[in-house]
Structure 1
Amino acid sequence: MRKGSCCMFTSGVIGAVLLIMGTGFFVSGFFKTLIYNKLKGEITLTEGSKSFATWKNPPTPVYMEFFIFNVTNPDEFLKGEAKPHVTTMGPYTYREYRPKHNVSFVHSGTKVAAYTKKIFVFEPEKSVGDPKIDLVTTVNIPAVAVMNRLKGAGFWVSSGISMYMNSIGTTMFMTHTVQELLWGFKDPLLTRLKTIKPETDEYFGLMLHKNGSNDGEFVYHTGEQNYLDFGRIYTWKGEKMVSFWKTNQSNMINGTDGSSFHPFLTKEERLNVFTPDLCRSIHMRFEKEVELKGIPAYRFTPPRDTLASGKNNPENEGFCVTPKKCLDDGVLDVSVCRKGAVLVCVCVCVCVCVCAFRKIFIILQFILHFPTKPSAKKDTSCAPVSDKVDDQDEKNDTYISMTPVDKS
């Protein structure tokens, strides 16, 4: 009798334990699901949600850092006596404000339209010098752009511009302050060209007219129907694709604008970002786990084939508009959407939720990240501009770092 009672007691205890464990797992799973669904509800671009407020007026400080490659031996290079010697100047840091305005919900509230105004304020304590004083020598971008346009002009127009360029001493290099190079200066060659083509802007700057400007209207998915679509671009300037490139794949507008991504991001995902500065979409892959101010984060970087040439990455063939002038790895010709401007490589670093930086490297015709073969007098391919390429990777890399949210 005692033995039976003991067995019954033991079975009862085991049953109670299993019941408690089962109840615990149920309650735990229930609350995880509840929190998960609550979080999904907050991370949508809907009126009244926390995400919408921070998306509309981002509270996190964003800084844009400019690193400029300065050519120190332009005369020797023009004479063919040496390859260009380049030093890096920077950072010149600007606090960037990006409030969204003209915000309106469209498509029955499943999408939201907005303009993002870009405002830049110089941050001297985060910079290496004064952009109004520091001088930089770089490729004469206006001259190269004009010569590129003159290829289809008549003999008399081309001759007239060439004579004027010689008379004012225009060469392949120019020296200006960092402030002028970034935000604009009146160029004598463009002033002369304006008398022939009145629509020509006689001012040039890599960030000309950018301060206080916007890139046009974006329409975003709110994520209300599917949280994976949070912040994903639906249209830009009323179009679902751009028309700058040769193939539909190259013209696709993929992903977000880089300022936000959907919740519950995993390491296995491919992050797509569309940037008007590059006139195209790029993608990033998980690289490693990092810490930002003590907060764990995932770092995503663009794989090497992102800016690879079409011959090394067939997916990029559409970015070569002129077949006989396809560029080597690491360089993107954005003249198709930049009114004839020469090569500009834009590197973006955005640290979402902690601290954000956008780094722009003005690279002439030479790219550190994609060295190919050594330079030669008749070799026009890209070559390293520094003998110390490897130790600059962390400084010059493009990456996005985000704090992960675990849905498990």
Structure 2
Amino acid sequence: MVSNMVKTGIVAAVGVTVIVLSSTLGWILVPDIVTSEAIITEDNEAIYGAWKSPPVPFFIQFFLFNCTNCELEGPENSSVVLDLQQLGPFTFSEKRVKFNITEKDGLLTYFEEESYYYEPMGNETSLDEYITTVNPVYFTLASLITDLAPPESVETLSIAMHRLLKDVEEHPFMRRTISEILFEGWSLQPYIEILVMLSDLAGIPLPELPEDPRFGYFYGVNGTDGGEFKIESGANGLDKLGLIRSWNGEKNLNYWNDDFCDMINGTDGAIYPPVVDVNERIYIFVTDLCRSIYTTYERDVETMGITANRFTVPPEVFDDKNPDNFCYCRDYSTNPELCFSAGLLDLRPCQFGAPVVLSTPHFYLGDEKYSNAFTGLKPVKQWHETNIDLEPLTAVPVFISERIQINIDVRRYGIPSRFLDINNTVFPVFWINETAVLDQPSADDVTLAVNVINGLNISRWCFLAAGIALVIAGFVMLVIFYPK
């Protein structure tokens, strides 16, 4: 017959064994196995394949603004309020494929090719529809002359530019098809002789021009890549997964002439370190913005049956009163009054001096003076903010909607008012809604992964609790059977 001492010893020993096993398996071995399966490496075929060529469908929608009362020569006078009519969406699917991938020291180096395919949904307006909008080439020339020519020559050169362009029927505003404005582009041949002449007179260096120069906002980008990225694969710690270590061989940007603004922070927006902390900012490096931005937690949402943490871009990211943003204004050290107000980012430093200004659609969260300068603009949170929904445990993006607006900094520059009588304004050209939503198979995989992780967490705590209970029972039995 087994003695009480032996029974007590067995209970305590089993309890200690369960504690040791649950701790070893639950907090060391199983997490190590899970971690190894989450690292992006060619050996992990499933996750590597999904990262290399995402199965999730991406779409990009364009909304263009047609100016209903814009004359090609510009408004009759500066008192005219320009009326904008939004057309769209014009929907394209987007295919992303990474290539030239190398692995070394826990880092992945790669390029990512992006291709766009027109996929109209429903009764979309034809891409052959003509709209009236601002002429970006006209105002780029005017801006470059003002910025780069000797001050005493600015007005003379600006008048010459205006007259020469008028002779070839190019004006401050233009009528182009939606297809030309986006991907097809239009010939810049009428500008070449003018460019060369102005370059010689003002001493402005010209970049090498192609044989058939054309311009469209997305002309020539189909089938191209966004540069060389080097990111963390997760092998150096899952808390670093996806973090960008360099872009085009550089650890920092060289656009803003400031160490802070030139920092490359966060991921590329496609992958994130697991276990989301809603109290922390999530940083994303956006090549189209030429900078890193951050998002903050707003609320929980449900998509495809998955509860996710929604992160949005807060107002302070583009707030002109935020000291962190002073270095994004090229004129701040000269005269802060020349900087744009809240909601805008001047992209001249990374767009070869072209007066391209980025904002949220309809100037949502921006200074009201920009949206009030036109009729037809109505900023709405639901339609115009950027959302990123992350599953909390895996940090898989369940839904992404990135929304940005392309504008041109329209002003007279050095052109006398008798040729162009217009108020200084930021003219909206189009805005983009780039989305990605998990398809059902991917959503099922995420749900399964979450259930497995939750099951492991519950099991290890249950086994640990059982082990502790057995050890306590052993001590209780010791007190009962062998009281002092």
TM-score (norm 1): 0.80
Spell out, residue by residue over 1:160-191, the C-alpha distance to the aligned partner (whole angstroms, 9 max, x if none): 42221232343332221111111222135533
Tell me, in whole angstroms, the C-alpha distance in 2 between the residues paired with 1:192 and 1:21. 86
Post-superposition offset of 1:40: 2.0
Return the letter of the residue paired with 1:177. T
Return the letter of the residue paired with 1:98. R
Say yes or no: does 1:229 pair with 2:237: no
Sort the Cα spacing of 1:346 and 1:259 in 2 relative to 1 into closer, same or farther, 3 A.
Answer: farther
Post-superposition offset of 1:28: 9.0
Say yes or no: does 1:161 pair with 2:161: yes
Tell me, in whole angstroms, the C-alpha distance in 2 between the residues paired with 1:174 and 1:35. 63
Q: Is the 8 A contact 1:194 1:200 kept in 2?
A: no
Match of 2:80 among 65, 72, 82: 82
Match of 1:96 among 94, 97, 112: 94
2:34 is aligned to: 39
Match of 1:297 among 308, 311, 325: 308
1:186 is aligned to: 187
Sort the Cα spacing of 1:294 and 1:182 in 2 relative to 1 into closer, same or farther, 3 A.
Answer: same
Match of 1:314 among 323, 335, 357: 323
Return the letter of the residue paired with 1:220. I
Between 334-343 and 274-283, the greater mean CA deviation after superposition: 334-343
Q: Is the 8 A contact 1:368 1:385 kept in 2?
A: no
Spell out, residue by residue over 1:352-407, the C-alpha distance to the aligned partner (whole angstroms, 9 max, x if none): xxxxxxxxx5xxxx72331334xxxxxxx6646457735x2211111212222277
Post-superposition offset of 1:59: 1.1
Post-superposition offset of 1:245: 0.5
2:435 is aligned to: none
1:69 is aligned to: 65
Post-superposition offset of 1:54: 1.2
The within-5 A match list for 1:268-283 is 268-283=279-294
**Runs (4+) off by over 6 Å:** 19-22
Spell out, residue by residue over 1:305-338, the C-alpha distance to the aligned partner (whole angstroms, 9 max, x if none): 11111xx101000001123331111111112111
Q: Which has the higher helix share?
A: 2
Q: Is the 8 A contact 1:64 1:93 kept in 2?
A: yes
Two-structure CA RMSD over aligned residues (Å): 3.2
SS at 1:130 equivalent: coil
1:149 is aligned to: 144
SS at 1:175 equivalent: strand
In our comparison, the structure showing a higher alpha carbon Rg is 2
Q: Is the 8 A contact 2:100 2:111 kept in 1?
A: yes
Return the letter of the residue paired with 1:84. L
Gapped runs of 5+ residues in structure 2? 200-205, 395-452, 458-484
Tell me, in whole angstroms, the C-alpha distance in 2 between the residues paired with 1:158 and 1:384. 25
Q: Is the 8 A contact 2:82 2:373 kept in 1?
A: no
Sort the Cα spacing of 1:294 and 1:32 in 2 relative to 1 into closer, same or farther, 3 A.
Answer: farther
Tell me, in whole angstroms, the C-alpha distance in 2 between the residues paired with 1:189 and 1:398. 39
TM-score (norm 2): 0.68
Spell out, residue by residue over 1:54-104, the C-alpha distance to the aligned partner (whole angstroms, 9 max, x if none): 111111111111122332222485523432222222221111111010001
Tell me, in whole angstroms, the C-alpha distance in 2 between the residues paired with 1:79 and 1:26. 82
Sort the Cα spacing of 1:89 and 1:344 in 2 relative to 1 into closer, same or farther, 3 A.
Answer: farther
Say yes or no: does 1:267 pair with 2:263: no
Sort the Cα spacing of 1:388 and 1:193 in 2 relative to 1 into closer, same or farther, 3 A.
Answer: closer
Q: Is the 8 A contact 1:115 1:216 kept in 2?
A: yes
Sort the Cα spacing of 1:77 and 1:28 in 2 relative to 1 into closer, same or farther, 3 A.
Answer: farther
1:56 is aligned to: 52
Say yes or no: does 1:139 pair with 2:127: no
Match of 1:337 among 317, 329, 350: 350
Tell me, in whole angstroms, the C-alpha distance in 1 between the residues paired with 2:19 and 2:82. 69
SS at 2:219 equivalent: coil
Sort the Cα spacing of 1:130 and 1:21 in 2 relative to 1 into closer, same or farther, 3 A.
Answer: farther
Q: Is the 8 A contact 1:114 1:218 kept in 2?
A: yes
Alignment length (residue pairs): 369
Return the letter of the residue paired with 2:166. N
Sort the Cα spacing of 1:45 and 1:193 in 2 relative to 1 into closer, same or farther, 3 A.
Answer: farther
1:170 is aligned to: 170
Post-superposition offset of 1:137: 2.3
1:378 is aligned to: none
Sort the Cα spacing of 1:122 and 1:150 in 2 relative to 1 into closer, same or farther, 3 A.
Answer: same
Tell me, in whole angstroms, the C-alpha distance in 2 between the residues paired with 1:250 and 1:91. 33
1:400 is aligned to: 388
Sort the Cα spacing of 1:82 and 1:26 in 2 relative to 1 into closer, same or farther, 3 A.
Answer: farther
Tell me, in whole angstroms, the C-alpha distance in 2 between the residues paired with 1:34 and 1:135. 63
SS at 2:225 equivalent: coil
2:447 is aligned to: none
Q: Is the 8 A contact 2:341 2:367 kept in 1?
A: no
Spell out, residue by residue over 1:92-125, the C-alpha distance to the aligned partner (whole angstroms, 9 max, x if none): 111111101000113xx31111011111111112
Post-superposition offset of 1:39: 2.8
Spell out, residue by residue over 1:251-295, the C-alpha distance to the aligned partner (whole angstroms, 9 max, x if none): 000011111111111222211111111110000011111122332
Sort the Cα spacing of 1:332 and 1:42 in 2 relative to 1 into closer, same or farther, 3 A.
Answer: same
Post-superposition offset of 1:36: 3.6
The within-5 A match list for 1:104-143 is 104-106=102-104, 109-125=105-121, 128-131=124-127, 133-143=128-138
Between 50-59 and 79-88, the greater mean CA deviation after superposition: 79-88
Gapped runs of 5+ residues in structure 1? 1-7, 348-360, 374-380
Sort the Cα spacing of 1:136 and 1:289 in 2 relative to 1 into closer, same or farther, 3 A.
Answer: farther
Post-superposition offset of 1:37: 3.2
Return the letter of the residue paired with 1:299. R
Q: Is the 8 A contact 2:285 2:292 kept in 1?
A: yes
Q: Is the 8 A contact 2:165 2:191 kept in 1?
A: no
Sort the Cα spacing of 1:221 and 1:337 in 2 relative to 1 into closer, same or farther, 3 A.
Answer: same
The within-5 A match list for 1:9-24 is 23=18
Sort the Cα spacing of 1:229 and 1:115 in 2 relative to 1 into closer, same or farther, 3 A.
Answer: same
Return the letter of the residue paired with 2:32. N
Q: Is the 8 A contact 1:218 1:236 kept in 2?
A: yes
Sort the Cα spacing of 1:98 and 1:322 in 2 relative to 1 into closer, same or farther, 3 A.
Answer: same
Tell me, in whole angstroms, the C-alpha distance in 1 between the residues paired with 2:389 and 2:131. 31
